[in-house]
Amino acid sequence: MAEVMLEGTVAAMKGLAPIAVVVPCFNDGASLEAALASLVAQQLPAAEVVVVDDGSDDPTTVQLLGRLQDLGCPGLADLRVIRQANQGPSAARNTAITACTSPWILPLDADDLLRPTAIKDLWGAALEDSSRGIIYGQVCFFGGRSAVAGFPAFSESVMALGNVIPVTALFRRDAWAAVGGFRLAMARGWEDWDFWLSLLERGEQVHQLQAVVLDVRVKPQSRNRGWSSTERRQAVETLVQHHPAFFGRHVAVLLDRVSDLEHQRQTSRYEAIKRRLREFWPGGSPAKSQ
């Protein structure tokens, strides 16, 4: 704890937030420079930036990472690039966090952008209330579509239905260590949802900012968007196996949601039947047509 306080004090004396931004990169050379530029533009810079090359084989990405490793990035005093064989984003984030010393961690995907006030807003919220252990803001999509994400307000019951905390959220490094980091078994996706549930089970308090702090690039493909129904069911089963007590506490909400979805399905089916019947009896119902 004394070392954590010392790191935070030293960073503050230098006009930096005691935060390490960790950036996993796998063939993201086309967008990584923009992500790093968004860190350079921060009104309150982070104390550390760690980029982990997760086995990239794209020539443009490999060349860019080599240049960053040799020459650094103007405006980022403490930028490190770590190379490793491809193991997935969970392993890449864990590698980056292991290498840093800052007491707070902020993941950033290599194709996303932080707003200029993001670190200032997130760190300000941490200073306001020391009980806050997970802090995040609003998200805006760009690329394929431009809109503020319509995520519901945080609650544990909502988190049982789906993840509403973006991976770019501020959390304590010691909390990450206490839960064993990002779980490698979630390599196909939902590793952030799994991680947040682990922190919630540990008792970390969540705070949601109303300000937009992150721009998320809409990609034509993502790891879990193309899942089959079998793959999605397996992912759900794995998540429940990891957090049985959490989902058990919210089983009533889950059952109610299933019932609601079934009602919507039945209603949708009924409306489809009515539309089809109108094609045969344009003047009204079959009874009226007789």
Stated pTM of the model: 0.84
Confidence of residue 246 (pLDDT cuts 50, 70, 90): confident
Q: Give the whole-number percent of the chain exceeding pLDDT 90.
A: 61
pLDDT confidence of residue 287: 47
What average pLDDT score do residues 200-227 get? 85
Across the chain, what does the average pLDDT equal? 86
CATH of domain 2-249: 3.90.550.10
For 38-65, how does the pLDDT look when each residue is reduced to its tens digit (9 = 90+)? 999 999 999 999 999 999 999 999 999 9
User: Rounded distance, CA 32 to CA 61, Å?
Assistant: 8
Burial of 259 (0-12, 13-18, 19+ CB in 10 A): exposed
Residue spans per domain, the chain: 2-249, 252-281
What residues are paired with 143 via a beta bridge? Answer: none
What average pLDDT score do residues 30-34 get? 96
User: Rounded distance, CA 27 to CA 222, Å?
Assistant: 14
77 torsion bin: left (phi>0), alpha (psi -120 to 50), beta (else)? alpha
Confidence of residue 248 (pLDDT cuts 50, 70, 90): confident
For 144-197, how does the pLDDT look when each residue is reduced to its tens digit (9 = 90+)? 666 677 678 898 988 888 899 999 999 999 999 999 999 998 877 889 999 999
Contacts of 122 (CB under 8 A, 6+ apart): 19, 106, 135, 136, 137, 170, 209, 213
For 249-262, how does the pLDDT look when each residue is reduced to its tens digit (9 = 90+)? 888 777 776 666 56
What average pLDDT score do residues 197-211 get? 96
